[in-house]
Chain A
Amino acid sequence: MLALQLAWRFLREGRTQSLLILAGVTIGIAAFVFVSAIIEGLQVNLLEQTLGSQAHISVAPEEAPPRPLMRDPGIAFARRIEPSEPRRRPFDQWQRAVRRVEATDGVVAVCPKVSGSALAYRGAAEEAVKVVGADAARLRRIVDIPANLVDGQYRLGGDEAVVGTSLAEKLGAGVGDPIRVRSGDRESVLRIVGIFDIGNEMVNGRWLVTSLRNAQTLLGRVGDITEIDARVADVYEAERIAREVEARTGVPTESWMERNRDLLTGLRSQDASTTMIRIFVLLAVAMGIASVLSVSVVQRRGQIGILRAVGTSRAIVLGVFLWQGVLFGLVGALLGALVGALAGELIESSALFDITVTPRLLLTALAVSLATGVLAAYLPARRAARLDPAAAIRGDE
């Protein structure tokens, strides 16, 4: 308690010096919070855009290799086999695989689905589409279509289908309109009940979502599915969970991290540069605190000697300077967080993504600032505690 009381009085006495270094710590922590919030906001936005329309994990049997149509072994001729439209092998015992994926730690949602290419017609308009068939309730936990509906409803019963805004526009169709969908020699007529805008042109322009049964019939996969999609609680754990799912099901499994290696590399590079900025900012803050406290120890040699002479222990003298570091760190963190959050608010209106100063970021800034304050204060504090009181009182070096 005495150490804290004396620390406060020392800071109050050297008011100008204290305010200057406090301003330095505040600016440093504000920069820390601001840069972290921006990068975090940017990354969350990028991830949302990327993962908003795709599963974190996809479990799907290998594609069947293309086969030559001519099979007469007695005839030799030069040939080149062009890969046809990817056609997956049947998903054996997919219901059991779904249960195994659901039972894997970290998985929060599972959706068996069937997807494949088809052509959609309305009047003279003809568009290539990706038919996605799934249970409506399960699919919305993987891709939140209801939250992105711009017209109609999210229902996948009977002949109902929902499509993206771009596809609806290209087909000239609206809610309530029927469209013909053809895949190979199979054809269905579906009725558009909802139009969504998921923020991804590939999805908005191609997806035609309908019930699992409709899609199975249309794509010639009755009773079968093409993949199992899953969502995990922590997106950065997806790769590890994917390997576990693969081991449990015995079916090839791919995570979003594998599918989006370039994005992941970009995010990691961003993380590395943010970390470097944070380290340099904290080093500047630490050096500021350390230099001010070092000067303070020199200036107060006589006072430290008197404190020791009147019975103050070395531990308390050490504490006096450590507390100063703590107070700089604490007050600087609070003011810096406020300034950083305000700066984030100011810039958010011109940014294309949310800049949110989360409680976790504030707690991190507080902890980092306190640790920096204490570490920066340690050397000057140790020097003060080790001063020879007799020499300090005499004013000797």
Chain B
Amino acid sequence: MTAPAIELKGISKAFGPVQANKDISIRVMPGTIHGIIGENGAGKSTLMSILYGFYKADSGEIYISGKKTAIPDSQAAIAAGIGMVFQHFKLVENFTVLENVILGAEDGARLGPSLSKARKELTQLAKEYELNVDPDALIENIGVGMQQRVEILKALYRQADILILDEPTGVLTPAEADHLFRILEGLKAQGKTIILITHKLREIMEVTDTVSVMRRGQMTATVKTSETSPQELAELMVGRKVLLRVDKKPAQPGNKVLEVENLEVVDEKGVKRLKGIDLNVRAGEILGIAGVAGNGQSELLEVLGGTQTATGTVRVNGQEIDLTGALSDARSRRARGIAHVPEDRQREGLIMDFKAWENVAFGYHHEEEFNAGLLMDQAAIKEDAVGKFKRFDVRPDNPMLEAKSFSGGNQQKIVLAREIERNPELLLIGQPTRGVDIGAIEFIHQRIVELRDAGKAILLVSVELEEILSLADRIAVIFDGQMMGERLPTETDEKELGLLMAGMTGQEREAS
């Protein structure tokens, strides 16, 4: 019997009092795709960081192809044949593909020989694995799917036999993701070993041979993918039964709350990010905006939330709102009954270094209820925070902790509690469950549906198609700053939406 490509024995790692990895053992056979799935904070990334030499395990052993190996740093990991493709690419934007590939693996002081060697090898790799990339293109000029291929090429160029991919599909369209999976299958066929870290059950089911589930720093199960189901994996991840689909009644749309006409945004570089958007959202319905990240949906949210100026017309409950002047800031938007759960809660929605209770007043710090004379009414804010924590089941149940000490899901609950409990006319919500664990996703979806059923208008932006399909009452697809059309979730599917998201209209599809 062949030795496992990677074997971890009893790996433990603690950060202070937090046990990130606890006695983890895992065997990955060569020539297989092994999935590691788990909620955020389950310890997946820590485990891979140990394998790649970023962290040192407190205890435990690593065997590569049956040989005990110490991996004190990433150089050692590369030497042991391990390549890593990070969630956030580590590429030099203004270098060419070729230059990025040899970066750190140059053969000598002169670049010429390395570059021509790499060019030859890249052509070879492209042929073998469908990894076509123009070697002379600048990174900043190629799409994210291409950039990811460059990351994979970098690893292969360094003779990696074991490839670790951390949440590789987060930034890809469904079609790009499918292409990635084909590449992975090709690599597997060539005998490479692949570890795929993800929180998406669909990907695990589609592409892996075996899957390990992590929960709270421990490996709870390793099973053959063919012998399990998404439902079982979800339960293993969360530790209880979960609802994978949103339970909701049909919408009862009322008046138009939000009307957007011919909205245009030009960014600082003079590039048009929104090219004449028209849409409307009625009371009591959820309009989902589907699209690949970077196609203008962020700008749409920013304009409506008051952090970006624009031209065009936006009416809220029939009254036009200011898009450029003194009343175009976020505070004025809130005064008009628009609440905003931003796409990036850590960058915008929360002050991570503030205590959680201070964040409960964030954006509403002018409100009378939070102020007493010259000073802020800390007692009132804290009391409000305690109530919100209880009603939104935020854990740990302690608003005195700093926002950064909560998990992604609980941070999102704090933001949601703040925005939803304002009882807004219109809720803007971006990526409601990005980086949120399955248990909390269920809760967050329920709250959004509840707000809808209370007759409020909701504009939902998400790059997760599944989320849009299950939550939205109407779906509008955005591509390159333009609306590609609207669909009803009951009358469309991921495939059709995926094509729209890639900018293909009906006619083009028939032609192709």
Chains A and B bind each other: no
Instruction: List the interface of chain A (C-beta within 8 A of B).
Output: none
Instruction: List the interface of chain B (C-beta within 8 A of A).
Output: none
